[in-house]
């Protein structure tokens, strides 16, 4: 059995395995291809793919489909209203997608996990006895992490897998840390003099992870664990210094921006398109085709840039779009790198906007009280790490070529690192990388809110003292989460950004008068790295614990 990891991505989901290397101190990680059905020569055949498109199709009859098959059938049948993509951006929201989908984001994510876990079990890679790791953005809120765990539990239930709670408590790891683990795995195979990271100097690393749907930034201080005698991966110390805000900006946004220019060119060729009153389904079809073409253009142009640089010009054809019995398409359109760079310039040139490649880095450093010169290494990972215009913009910002690092397989690094984390957990049953929370938590009071647990906390918040505002035998508890906006120095400034997380009506066993003391404390369990906290409530005196509930027990 191998230790496995899953990168549950916005646009693609990957499965990786990790095994012991040639010597006892090393580990090898690789992507595991999965079998998916494709339409070839007027029939479906099974082929192996290194990734599963995070794409689901719910046909009117038959079972739901995911991956390549879903993408082919859903788009060819022009049933995009029955298709779901980029559902990761909806995780954590208490919503059910409208007809005809009728699924929550967590239930759709469970389908992707189920497909990969089924393959891993069928091929003998995995059982519930083995270690599994699933990645999430470092800045995922508690609700988003909870939804990810729920997706895993749903997938496991459908496959009759029973995971012990001890495994579920350690099953999540952030994507930047997983990618950093993958890079360290490669780096530590080298002779000490050839390694890029000098861990003896406790370097500060900025991990910049841009995939299809999110930009994830994390500052990590590396070093050796105290008392380390052998310099191996399992003895590396990880201290997470700071996380960025959850940022829904990534490759899909570049593609959507470019799709607007493709649409303008298509309308210039077919002016009558402006006068057609398109149905919602037709609008979906046009948008989908153009975004798909924009993604293809990005890849084709990027491949040519590697050879021709700024002088690159490619001949590009838009995929045919069939509307009202007529086919609209463009063939052999010459597009230059200069054209493309002009289209995406708003995202690459610095401006104070979360949908920008540079500003989130500046924002992260500002919140940490650091300058860019205080960071020792810049590690670029994620599918967009292959995008040369992004590389150029970030290198110009960093201005230190020798410490600007790109993972050799940037789009596979997160899955590989997740598998490596599973391997390390298997070797050391108490091994864990402690990551801070992305949320700050507040309790609703009669006037305003009270902070229970600060953002970036690791274990236990302070025990906060309040009073009952009316006589009663029940306490209504309402929990909110959020984080201060840039420059906020007072708790009042956060109120507009708070998001209701849920509540509970706690029985007190007897009636207490108004003004009775109440203490509330929020904490993380030491053996639980999922960052799903617990809430303890005392009434009347500090030894009278009346409730100890999991965050997951809160009701909408």
The 10s digit of each residue's pLDDT in 446-476 is 777 888 888 776 667 888 888 888 898 999 8
The 10s digit of each residue's pLDDT in 15-29 is 999 988 776 577 889
155 near 113, Cβ under 8 Å?
A: yes
Give me the phi and psi of 416, to 5 degrees please.
-60, -45
544 near 530, Cβ under 8 Å?
A: no
The predicted structure's pLDDT at residue 1: 62
Sign of CA dihedral 550, 423, 154, 87: positive
Confidence of residue 551 (pLDDT cuts 50, 70, 90): confident
pLDDT reading at 396 higher than 90: yes
Of 105-119, 262-276, 407-421, 519-533, the least confident: 519-533
Give the integer Cα–Cα distance in Å for 538 and 548.
Answer: 9
The predicted model scores a pTM of 0.89
Q: Which ranges of 188-310 does DSSP label H, i.e. alpha helix?
A: 251-269, 280-308
Give the integer Cα–Cα distance in Å for 295 and 301.
Answer: 10
Query: Please, where in the chain does CATH 3.90.640.10 lie?
Result: 251-347
Asked if the bond preceding 421 is cis, omega within 30° of 0, the reply is no
The predicted structure's pLDDT at residue 62: 83
The predicted structure's pLDDT at residue 490: 45
Query: Please, where in the chain does CATH 3.30.420.40 lie?
Result: 3-196+415-427
The predicted structure's pLDDT at residue 97: 92
The 10s digit of each residue's pLDDT in 468-498 is 888 989 998 888 887 654 444 444 544 556 7
Confidence of residue 431 (pLDDT cuts 50, 70, 90): confident
Sign of CA dihedral 81, 82, 86, 91: positive
**How far, CA to CA in Å, does 207 sit from each of 139, 170, 215?**
13, 22, 10
238 near 199, Cβ under 8 Å?
A: no
pLDDT reading at 280 higher than 80: yes
Confidence of residue 180 (pLDDT cuts 50, 70, 90): very high
**How far, CA to CA in Å, does 170 sit from each of 77, 190, 525?**
41, 29, 11
The predicted structure's pLDDT at residue 276: 85
CATH of region 251-347: 3.90.640.10
CATH of region 440-553: 2.60.34.10
Of 84-88, 321-325, 552-556, the least confident: 552-556
- What integer best gives the mean pLDDT of the chain? 88
Query: Please, where in the chain does CATH 2.60.34.10 lie?
Result: 440-553
State whether CATH 3.30.1490.70 applies to domain 3-196+415-427: no
Confidence of residue 175 (pLDDT cuts 50, 70, 90): very high
The 10s digit of each residue's pLDDT in 80-99 is 899 999 999 999 888 899 88
């Amino acid at each position: 059995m191998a230790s496995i990891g899953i990168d549950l991505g916005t646009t693609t989901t990957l499965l990786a395995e990790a095994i012991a290397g040639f010597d006892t101190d090393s580990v090898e990680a690789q992507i595991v291809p999965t079998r998916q059905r494709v339409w070839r020569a007027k029939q479906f055949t099974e082929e192996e793919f290194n990734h599963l498109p995070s794409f689901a199709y719910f046909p009117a009859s038959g079972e739901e489909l995911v991956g390549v098959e879903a993408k082919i059938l859903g788009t060819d049948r022009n049933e995009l209203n029955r298709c779901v993509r980029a559902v990761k951006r909806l995780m954590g929201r208490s919503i059910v997608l409208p007809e005809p989908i009728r699924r929550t984001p967590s239930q759709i994510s469970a389908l992707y996990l189920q497909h990969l876990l089924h393959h891993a079990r069928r091929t003998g890679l995995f059982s519930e006895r083995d270690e599994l790791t699933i990645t999430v953005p470092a800045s995922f809120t508690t609700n988003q992490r909870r939804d990810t765990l729920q997706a895993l539990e749903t997938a496991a239930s459908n496959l009759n897998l029973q995971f012990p709670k001890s495994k579920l408590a350690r099953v999540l790891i952030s994507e930047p840390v997983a990618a950093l683990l993958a890079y360290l795995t490669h780096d530590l195979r080298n002779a000490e003099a050839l390694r890029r990271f000098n861990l003896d100097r406790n370097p500060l690393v900025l991990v910049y992870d841009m995939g299809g749907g999110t930009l994830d930034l994390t500052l990590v201080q590396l070093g050796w664990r105290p008392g380390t005698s052998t310099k191996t991966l399992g003895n590396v110390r990880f201290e997470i210094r700071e996380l960025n805000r959850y940022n829904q900006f990534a490759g899909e946004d570049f593609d959507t921006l470019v799709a607007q220019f493709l649409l303008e060119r298509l309308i210039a060729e077919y002016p009558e398109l402006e006068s057609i009153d398109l149905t919602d389904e037709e609008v979906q079809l046009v948008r989908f085709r153009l975004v798909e073409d924009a993604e293809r253009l990005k890849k084709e142009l990027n491949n040519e840039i590697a050879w021709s640089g700024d002088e690159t010009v490619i001949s590009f054809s838009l995929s045919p779009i069939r509307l009202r019995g007529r086919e609209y398409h463009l063939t052999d359109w010459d597009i230059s790198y200069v054209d493309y760079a002009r289209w995406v310039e708003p995202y690459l040139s610095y401006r104070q906007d979360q949908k920008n490649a540079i500003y989130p880095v500046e924002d992260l450093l500002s919140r940490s009280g650091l300058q860019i010169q205080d960071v020792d290494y810049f590690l670029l990972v994620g599918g967009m790490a292959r995008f040369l215009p992004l590389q150029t913009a970030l290198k110009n910002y960093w201005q230190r070529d020798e410490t600007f690092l790109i993972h050799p397989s940037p789009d596979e690094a997160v899955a590989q690192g997740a598998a490596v984390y599973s391997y390390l957990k298997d070797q050391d049953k108490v091994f864990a990388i402690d990551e801070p929370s992305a949320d700050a938590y507040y309790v609703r009071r009669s006037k305003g809110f009270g902070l229970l647990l600060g953002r970036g906390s690791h274990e236990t918040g302070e025990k906060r003292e309040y009073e009952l505002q009316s006589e009663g035998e029940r306490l209504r508890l309402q929990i909110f989460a959020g984080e201060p906006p840039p420059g906020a120095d007072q708790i009042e400034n956060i109120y507009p950004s708070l998001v209701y997380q849920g509540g509970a009506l706690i029985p007190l066993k007897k009636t207490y008068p108004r003004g009775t003391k109440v203490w509330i404390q929020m904490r993380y369990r030491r053996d639980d790295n999922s960052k799903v906290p617990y809430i303890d409530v005392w009434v009347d005196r500090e030894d009278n614990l009346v409730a100890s509930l999991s965050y997951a027990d809160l009701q909408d």
